[in-house]
């Protein structure tokens, strides 16, 4: 069966402009690579730790990026990424921050591509060649438009481990999901 991918980006929207973006990216086939949840708390394994290190390093590679918050779930990652194109004018005085000699307005897609590339390479160095890690193609994004939405999404990210047993990304819940030609949707009970 061939699924037609739903286009998730807004047409004519410049994803390199300054804004807050909520992103979700999943491991291929939603395989649980990164962590397990015990008592509503994430317990990262080696692959989850690699992802965490790569996420924290992104602002050193993308000089218009700040990371607000993120969570590494067993098979996906949620995060709030801030594209701030004024960083070059008021360099951050945070530890380890070294402004790039050249400045680019990197887009959200370029930043996610870089994260997936960096993390995949590091994870695949640690596993047998016949079982390579891959990210699912593309990612989900949501442009955060106001403080209320920002705070709701932060709360969602922080509390996500506590709702894992009901999460649509949880493989144990796949029997509650139906496929249609355009997307994956949760089946109503």
Domain of residue 135, residue span? 19-186
Here the CATH number for the domain that contains residue 25 is 3.30.70.1290
Phi, psi of 51 (to 5 degrees): -60, -40
Number of domains in the chain: 1
According to DSSP H, which parts of the chain are helical?
46-61, 108-124, 147-159
Q: Is residue 13 part of a domain?
A: no
Bridge partners of 36? 43
Q: Is residue 10 part of a domain?
A: no
Q: Is residue 14 part of a domain?
A: no
Q: Is residue 145 part of a domain?
A: yes
Q: Is residue 102 part of a domain?
A: yes
* Three-state SS at 186: strand
Bridge partners of 178? 185
pLDDT on residue 7: 52
pLDDT on residue 179: 40
Phi, psi of 46 (to 5 degrees): -55, -45
Q: Is residue 3 part of a domain?
A: no
pLDDT on residue 18: 93
The residues near 101 (Cβ < 8 Å, ≥ 6 apart) are none
Spans in the chain with pLDDT lower than 70: 1-10, 87-103, 174-189
Q: Is residue 7 part of a domain?
A: no
Q: Is residue 6 part of a domain?
A: no
pLDDT on residue 72: 97
Axis crossing angle, helix 108-124 with helix 46-61, rounded to the nearest 10: 140
pLDDT on residue 175: 60
Find, among 80, 81, 76, the residue nearest to 164 by Cα. Answer: 76
pTM, whole model, 2 decimals?
0.80
* DSSP secondary structure letter of residue 7: P
d(CA 168, CA 171) in angstroms, rounded, equals 8
């Amino acid at each position: 069966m061939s699924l037609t991918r739903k286009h998730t980006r807004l047409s004519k929207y410049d994803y390199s402009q300054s804004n807050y973006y909520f992103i979700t990216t999943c491991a291929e086939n939603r395989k649980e690579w990164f962590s397990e949840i015990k008592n509503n708390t994430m317990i990262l394994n080696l692959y989850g730790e690699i992802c965490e290190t790569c996420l924290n390093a992104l602002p050193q590679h993308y000089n218009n990026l700040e990371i607000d918050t993120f969570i590494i779930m067993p098979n996906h990652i949620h995060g709030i990424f801030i594209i701030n194109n004024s960083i070059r004018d008021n360099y951050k005085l945070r530890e380890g921050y070294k402004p790039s000699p050249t400045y680019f307005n990197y887009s959200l897609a370029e930043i996610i591509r870089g994260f997936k590339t960096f993390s995949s390479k590091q994870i695949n160095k640690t596993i047998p060649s016949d079982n390579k890690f891959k990210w699912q193609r593309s990612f989900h994004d949501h442009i955060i438009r106001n403080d209320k939405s920002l705070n709701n999404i932060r709360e969602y990210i922080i509390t996500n481990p506590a709702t894992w047993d009901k999460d649509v990304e949880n493989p144990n819940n796949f029997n509650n999901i139906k496929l249609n030609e355009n997307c994956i949707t949760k089946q109503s009970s």
